[in-house]
Structure 1
Amino acid sequence: MLLRSKAGRGAAVTGSGVRGFGKVISLLLMAGMVSYASPAAALDSQEAERVVTILENLVTETGGSVFYDEEAAEEWFQIDDETSRLIPAAGFTRTAWKTAFDQTMTGFIASIPQAEMEQMMEDFMDKIGEVAKMTPQQKEEAMALLRAEKRNFDGIRARGAEYREFVSSYIPRLRNITFRR
């Protein structure tokens, strides 16, 4: 899985001992690196289904997984434009896609139970040293980054709360494409 930072740099993470790490990083990427502006149009269940179906198809085509940051909707739009053109076929303009994508993903993030989120964070804390051979300074820097991103997470969850109902039927499908191993 390629982990993306806001600047677009990534670090490869592989191996069986990093499942919790991958989940936490996926969520942090989805939650912490977003400059989110409230769009005018509100998500409905049919629109959420179209977004999820398109993402499932694109994930299958690319072999990737869905992440959420300030550029993710645009990147998926470009990938689709170069491949199957499912997004315009589903009736989305570039702007409408960004709005629907953002609302679907924040609704998904809001749907993750707090206890599950805390457990993923704990698992990550336990495994951070196992993921890579890190110096104590690197480990502390990673922990500081995690704490900072965690603070941003509550705001994303709050913004997504109004969309949680429309996304709820698609949670298993979204988990499948965001927490891919």
Structure 2
Amino acid sequence: MRRRSGRLLAALFWAGATAVSSPAAALTPDEAEKVTDLLVALTPTLGRFAYDEEIARDWFAQDAEEGRVIQEAGFTAESWSRAVRETVQGFIASMGEDELAALHEDLRGGIRTLRQLGGSRAVEALKTIDEEYGRLLARRAEGAAFADAVRPIAPRLRALLLRPSE
């Protein structure tokens, strides 16, 4: 009996630890909305947001010096980086494969039309775009756990992240 209860306790502990550390449990719809609200609010002062880990850290640091809006919203540097990463990954996961492929092809087409890029430079630029697209697909796979939390705000994120450069 004691061995059974020990196994049961171990199984419950493992299940609880898995649930707590599960990426699916990490991002909530409220948190994704809060991240989006902050990105929209800070864009006029910090510039257009293009995701990567370093940019998320830079935004937190710049905001900490200027307005502390991110901290006032309840984020630490670590929780901000995680929430932004998961929000962006969830957004990418919410996009259809056709939409992602069209974005990839638009970028490739843009490189092909740049006359100032010579043969080897154009080939290198296309290679870089293809590598970035591979990383985008990896983020998409990682973001599947967050897609449901992000789906309600996906149109806002689309406008923020995919609008043409100004």
Give the TM-score category using the shorter length.
0.7 to 0.9
Q: How far apart are the structure 2 equivalents of 1:163 and 1:106?
A: 7
Q: How far apart are the structure 2 equivalents of 1:83 and 1:179?
A: 26
State the Cα deviation string for residues 134-181 of structure 1 (Å, max 9, x = none). 000100001111222222222211110110111111112112221233
Whether 1:44 aligns to 2:5 is no
Whether 1:130 aligns to 2:113 is yes
State the Cα deviation string for residues 82-119 of structure 1 (Å, max 9, x = none). 22211111111111111111111111111121101111
Q: Which amino acid aligns with 2:59?
A: W
Residues 110 and 164, structure 1, Cα contact 8 Å, conserved in 2 = yes
What TM-score does the superposition give when structure 2 sets the normalisation length? Answer: 0.78
**In angstroms, what is the RMSD of aligned CA positions?**
1.9
Q: How far apart are the structure 2 equivalents of 1:114 and 1:102?
A: 20
1:40-119 equivalences under 5 Å are: 42-62=26-46, 64-119=47-102
SS in 2 for 1:71: helix
Q: How far apart are the structure 2 equivalents of 1:49 and 1:150?
A: 26
State the Cα deviation string for residues 42-74 of structure 1 (Å, max 9, x = none). 000111111111111110223x22111131220
How far apart are residue 132 of structure 1 and its match? 5.3
How far apart are residue 123 of structure 1 and its match? 2.1
Range with bigger deviation, 156-165 or 80-89: 80-89
SS in 1 for 2:53: coil
Residues 24 and 145, structure 2, Cα contact 8 Å, conserved in 1 = no
Range with bigger deviation, 100-109 or 77-86: 77-86
Residues 41 and 99, structure 1, Cα contact 8 Å, conserved in 2 = no
Residues 24 and 146, structure 2, Cα contact 8 Å, conserved in 1 = no
Whether 1:150 aligns to 2:125 is no
Provide structure 2 residue ranges, at least 5 long, that are not aligned to the other structure: 1-21
What fraction of aligned residue pairs are identical, expressed as a percent?
A: 37
Q: Which amino acid aligns with 1:104?
A: T
**Which structure carries more helix by proportion?**
2
Q: State the number of aligned residues.
A: 143
**Against the structure 1 CA distance between its residues 153 and 145, is the aligned structure 2 distance closer, same or farther, given a 3 Å change threshold?**
same
How far apart are residue 40 of structure 1 and its match? 9.4
Residues 43 and 49, structure 2, Cα contact 8 Å, conserved in 1 = yes
Provide structure 1 residue ranges, at least 5 long, that are not aligned to the other structure: 1-37
Q: How far apart are the structure 2 equivalents of 1:110 and 1:45?
A: 15
Residues 39 and 99, structure 1, Cα contact 8 Å, conserved in 2 = no
Q: How far apart are the structure 1 equivalents of 2:66 and 2:23?
A: 27
Match of 1:166 among 146, 149, 155: 149
